[in-house]
Chain A
Amino acid sequence: MTGVISGSGQWAYVAAAYGLTVLLTGAVLWSSWRAMAKAERRSDALRRDRP
């Protein structure tokens, strides 16, 4: 079949799929964690400063 890759070239596609998954999932996990930690620190600080 035209364009169908066989042999060791297949691993490049596997690496691309797994690499993209790790990169994007890691980025969303990291940004969600940082945003949550920052917002909760700010909220806790304001509560502590309550007169």
Chain B
Amino acid sequence: MLTLNKGERQELVFINEPQLDLHIQQQEGSSLRVIVINSQFSILNSIEVHHVGTGCHTEIYALAYLKNKESVRTHTHVHHDVGGGTSKQVIKFVLDDEAQGEFLGELKILPNAQQVQAEQTNRNLLLSEKATMRTRPQLEIYADDVKASHGATTGQLDESALFYMQQRGIDAPTARRMLIQAFMQDIAEQISDEGKRNQLLQTIDGVVE
């Protein structure tokens, strides 16, 4: 169990960590950002965050780009035990070949956790007909004065965008690569450490072939 003390700020970045099992407790006014990137292995990412103090802020960004028969399960448990906090989750999967992705997102807002703002977004891109994605948002909201939103979409590359790019002279493989990179870009941009951000951008470049 990791504890963020009052007012503490932390950014945790995990790039191709073989196994992730995080339990984090946030005290009053602390701010946490977790970024998880997977482009290999078959693993389970489990991230559990509790707001035990008021006015905490949590951001979770997770991106998996998988090929062959790789499989990544990302489970998040965000618990607003007390009020006045915010949380934001952006979870993305890019699945090629026969890869499998799973997102389970548990968001809990307890009865006296008023004035919470919670946001959960799951977007998935399937590059092959044999790739599969399971997504299960699970919102349990017991307080009435809160703002909670969630959205999940799974789709393929935009054919009209591909054609538009080809019409400007960009060949199909390059256009596909640019669109896949664009899909993943916003997660990479969240990393404030420049070295780690570049490492991730290189990882993205490396896997998108």
Please determine whether chains A and B interact with each other in the same assembly.
no
The interface of chain A, by Cβ under 8 A from chain B, is: none
